[in-house]
A and B are shown apart, each in its own frame.
Chain A
Amino acid sequence: MSTPSASEIIYQGLWKNNPGLVQLLGLCPLLAISNTFVNALGMSLATIAVLTASNFVVALSRPVVREEIRVPMFVLVIAGFVGIVQQVMQAWFYDLYQILGIFIPLIVTNCIILGRAEAFASRQPLWAATLDGLSMGTGFMLVLLSLGGMREMIGSGTLFADAWLIFGEQAEVLTISLSEDARGMLLFALPPGAFLGLGLLVALKNVVDERMKKPRSVSVELSQTITAKP
């Protein structure tokens, strides 16, 4: 497997092979933690940290780990980093840690992380594996933040509520209330909103892809019909 270029890795992670919108991996945290923007941000930062670090270590240890035991080794590495992230969040972001709850330890089971370790990091050089972890993580973050922002705005009529959970007390000014008596549409704060929102985001991505593809495919068809004529 040849090593893709850096820009190709970034394009794959952020758009073409986006873990949230195309691979539809990691749906458990994506659907459960996207009820507010700040929760989504906390979750995605934790996921990026684990994904990048595990990709780095998996690629680093490639020469010394036997093929037969690689998957248990991936799981151990991932579980180790999730443990570290969990302890860090418990120490410095205790309130956020309480809100995200079980979903932090559950990062271990996030299919994106094991998937990237197996499909990419274990076959590619160190720099590519690390960059892949970063860009896949960022792609996941973009989806999580869009969904979180959308659900927070529609579901409770605010944006960046509880920003102090991450940025400290002075960040309380960040909270935007869309209107004075905004109560929001409860459905979007509840689980159905996550499914509806994700479905709409996937549809939006497909529409954008379709629009970008159209001019090219039309010209291809044209050239084919032209060459087909004798």
Chain B
Amino acid sequence: MVRHAPVYAPDAAVSMTMRRVLLALSPGIVVYTGFFGWGLPVQLALATVAALGFEAVMLKLRGRPVAVHIGDYSAVVAAWLLVICLPPLLPWWMTLLAVFFAVVIAKHLYGGLGYNPFNPAMVGYAVLLVSFPREMTQWIPLEGYVIPGFGETLAVIFGGSVVSHLDGLSTATPLDHFKHSSSAAPAIMGTLAGKGWEWISLCWLVGGLWLAYTRTLDWRIPLSLLLTVGLFAVGLALGSNNPAWQNPLFHLLSGGTLFAAFFIATDPVTASTTQAGRWLYAAGIGLLAMVIRVWGGYPDGFAFAVLLMNLSAPMIDYLTSPRAYGHK
């Protein structure tokens, strides 16, 4: 973690931190796979290979020691965070393109690990979302469709084939659904946040809490973000007539709220570095994401919120830098 002086001896190298993040992601990935089939593992494998390839090429081009930096797992973490945000049956080349934008443009063209102002995973995601809005909002519905098997998944991702019963494979996320219709639809809604999604979100929460416990991430960021989203949701429940928004827990458990709070906003490179700044930074993400989610054109707003607050992080750091002893 990046901390301001006085700096204690770091308890983990970069690769250790990154390995912990991968470990914390795995329960969510397993549950996700259980609900939605082989799409996610296939995409994860594809993105890992691609990220390592791009990373090696860029390190070579930049004249950096390839073996040292490729072993720090940072490219793998960026690729996994990115892929988890993508629809699991996305064509292979779109995943490659997103990884390319994340690793090559967002990370290495800005100076590599530790120098990138924007979260690479979110840059890759935002590029795809802006470029291919139709594909990026095709999610597997859990009601009325058979989840594709391994072979079928490969055929859809790599062969571009459209399997007959997957023909209508396009469903809005629960969030999108509630924004565009005025009635809650229990068919795609689980107990709280969209069938399947609430369990996956809880897995992110468990992984994230473990990361906070091991001090791999700063607990201030997820706490501040979730508090902001929660307060906003309570206000929304009191002030809005939309039946889906009557339960504030919906906003905490659906979409990318918990994932963004624990895994995206906490990126030590692109977040604010001061303690007060981190409260502000995360609150800003929560607020912007909710504004985009409720009034914006996209179903969920965390990618854009994170990128906008990444942009503000240097200014937040400047405004909240701790007073040195003896100075005003």
Contact = CB atoms under 8 A, between A and B. Distances in A.
Interface of A: 185-188, 190, 192, 196
Contacts of B127: 187
Nearest to A183: B132
B101 to A, nearest CB: 9
B311 to A, nearest CB: 13
A192 B105 CA distance: 13
User: What interface size band does chain B fall in?
Assistant: under 10
B133 interface: yes
Contacts of A187: 127, 130-131
A188 B128 CA distance: 11
A196 B100 CA distance: 14
B127 to A, nearest CB: 6
6 closest A-B pairs (Cβ-Cβ)? A187-B131, A185-B131, A186-B131, A187-B130, A187-B127, A186-B130
Secondary structure at the A interface, as helix, strand, loop or mixed, is: helix
Contacts of A185: 97, 131-132
Given A186-B130, A187-B130, 12 more contacts: A185-B97, A185-B131, A185-B132, A186-B131, A186-B132, A186-B133, A187-B127, A187-B131, A188-B131, A190-B130, A192-B130, A196-B105
Nearest to A185: B131
Q: Which of A185, A192, A196 has the most B CB atoms < 10 Å from its CB?
A: A185
Contacts of B132: 185-186
Q: Which of B97, B127, B131, B133 has the most A CB atoms < 10 Å from its CB?
A: B131
A77 B24 CA distance: 67
A164 B132 CA distance: 29
Contacts of B97: 185
Interface string B132-161: 110000000000000000000000000000
11 contacts: A185-B97, A185-B131, A185-B132, A186-B131, A186-B132, A187-B127, A187-B130, A187-B131, A188-B131, A192-B130, A196-B105
A209 to B, nearest CB: 17
B269 to A, nearest CB: 21
B196 to A, nearest CB: 29
A97 B133 CA distance: 31
B122 to A, nearest CB: 14
Q: Which of B97, B132, B133 has the most A CB atoms < 10 Å from its CB?
A: B132
Contacts of B131: 185-188
A204 to B, nearest CB: 13
A186 B94 CA distance: 13
A180 to B, nearest CB: 14
Contacts of B133: 186
Contacts of B105: 196
A188 B105 CA distance: 14
Interface in B95-137: 97, 105, 127, 130-133
Contacts of A186: 130-133
Interface in B58-114: 97, 105
A196 B97 CA distance: 15
A194 to B, nearest CB: 13
A60 to B, nearest CB: 46
A7 to B, nearest CB: 34
A64 to B, nearest CB: 51
B297 to A, nearest CB: 13
B63 to A, nearest CB: 13
B183 to A, nearest CB: 32
Nearest to B135: A183
Contacts of A196: 105
A187 B133 CA distance: 10
A190 B97 CA distance: 17
